[in-house]
Amino acid sequence: MTDHLDAPHQLLLQMLRDFVETEVRPKAKAVDEEERFPEETVRQMARYGLMGIPFPKEYGGAGGDNLAYTLAVEELSKACGTTGVILSAHTSLCAAPIYEHGTEAQKQKHLVPLAKGEKLGAFALTEPAAGTDAAGQQTTAERRGDTYVLNGSKIFITNAGYADTYIVMAMTDKAKGTRGISAFIVEKGTPGFRIGKKEEKMGIRGSATCELIFEEAAIPAENLLGKEGGGFGVAMKTLDGGRIGIAAQALGIAQGAIDATVAYVKERKQFGKPLSAFQNTQFQLADMQVRTDAARLLVYRAARRKDARLPYSVEAAAAKLFASETAMEVTTKAVQLHGGYGYTREYPVERMMRDAKITEIYEGTSEVQRMVVSAAMLR
Ligand X SMILES: Cc1cc2nc3c(=O)[nH]c(=O)nc-3n(C[C@H](O)[C@H](O)[C@H](O)COP(=O)(O)OP(=O)(O)OC[C@H]3O[C@@H](n4cnc5c(N)ncnc54)[C@H](O)[C@@H]3O)c2cc1C
Which residues are marked as active site? 363
Cβ-contact 83, 44 below 8 angstroms: no
In angstroms, what is the C-alpha Rg of the chain? 21
Check residue 104 for interaction with ligand X (CB under 6 A): no
CB of 293 to other proteins, least distance (A): 21
CB 207 within 8 A of CB 90: no
Q: What is the smallest separation between the CB atom of 7 and other proteins, expressed in angstroms?
A: 7
C-beta closer to other proteins: residue 48 or 283: 48
> How many whole angstroms separate alpha carbon 24 and alpha carbon 11?
19
**In this chain, which of 72, 89, 186, 330 binds ligand X, going by CB under 6 A?**
89
Of 52-60, 141-149, 174-182, 269-277: span binding ligand X (CB under 6 A): 269-277
CB under 5 to 8 A by kind: which of other proteins, ligand X, none does 58 bind?
Answer: none
Task: Measure the CA–CA gap between 286 and 262, rounded to whole angstroms.
Answer: 11
State the minimum distance, in angstroms, from the CB of residue 9 to ligand X.
27
- Site residues, other proteins (CB under 8 A): 7-8, 11-12, 14-15, 18-19, 47-50, 53, 57, 61-64, 68, 72
- For ligand X, what does the binding mask look like between residues 342 and 371, x meaning CB under 6 A? -x--------------x--xxx-x-x----
Residue placing its CB nearer to other proteins in the complex, 44 or 332: 44
Element (H, E) at 243: helix 231-267
Our CB check for other proteins shows the closer of 20 and 317 to be: 20
Residues facing 122 on adjacent strands:
166
Q: Which amino acid is at 102?
A: G
Residue 268 found at the interface with ligand X (CB under 6 A): yes
As measured in angstroms, the least distance from the Cβ of 114 to ligand X is 15
Q: Taking CB under 6 A as the rule, does residue 317 contact ligand X?
A: no
Please tell me whether residue 280 binds ligand X under the rule CB under 6 A. yes
Q: How far is the CB of 360 from ligand X (least distance, A)?
A: 9
DSSP code of residue 148: E
- 24-41 burial by CB neighbour count: b if 16+ within 10 A, else e? bbebbeebbeebebbeeb
Span from 9-17, 25-33, 99-107, 339-347 in contact with ligand X (CB under 6 A): 339-347
For 159-287, strand residue ranges (E) read 165-171, 181-187, 193-198, 209-220, 224-225, 269-270, 273-274
Decide: 156 and 124 in contact? Cβ < 8 Å.
no
Q: At what angle do helices 231-267 and 279-307 cross, to 10 degrees?
A: 150
Nearer to other proteins, 47 or 273 (CB): 47
Report the alpha-carbon distance of residue 253 to residue 210 in Å, rounded: 23
The H or E element containing residue 74 is helix 66-79
Q: What span, in angstroms and rounded, lies between the C-alpha atoms of 39 and 240?
A: 27
Q: Measured from the CB of residue 8, what is the shortest distance to other proteins in angstroms?
A: 5
By CB under 6 A, tell whether 262 contacts ligand X.
no
Please count the other Cβ atoms lying within 10 Å of the Cβ belonging to residue 295: 27
Q: Could you say which of 25, 201, 301, 304 contacts ligand X (CB under 6 A)?
A: 201
Give yes or no for residue 340 binding ligand X (CB under 6 A). yes
Q: Pick from 86, 115, 295, 337: which binds ligand X (CB under 6 A)?
A: 337
Report what 340 binds from other proteins, ligand X, none; CB cut-off 5-8 Å by kind.
ligand X
Task: Supply φ then ψ for residue 369, to 5 degrees.
Answer: -65, -35
Residue span 136-165 as binding mask against ligand X, x where in contact by CB under 6 A, dash where not: --------------------xxx-------
293: nearest Cα among 260, 258, 317, 262? 258
Identity of the residue, 268 or 301, whose beta carbon is nearer to ligand X in the bound complex: 268
Q: State whether the Cα torsion 64-70-72-75 is positive or negative.
A: negative
Which of the choices ligand X, other proteins, none does residue 365 contact, using the CB cut-off of 5 to 8 A by kind? ligand X
Residue placing its CB nearer to ligand X in the complex, 64 or 203: 203
Beta strands in the chain, from DSSP E residues, in sequence order: 121-124, 140-144, 147-158, 165-171, 181-187, 193-198, 209-220, 224-225, 269-270, 273-274
Strand 193-198 and strand 209-220: pairing? antiparallel
Binding residues (CB under 6 A) for ligand X: these are 89, 123-126, 131-132, 156-158, 201, 209, 268, 270-271, 275, 278, 280, 336-337, 339-341, 343, 358, 361-363, 365, 367
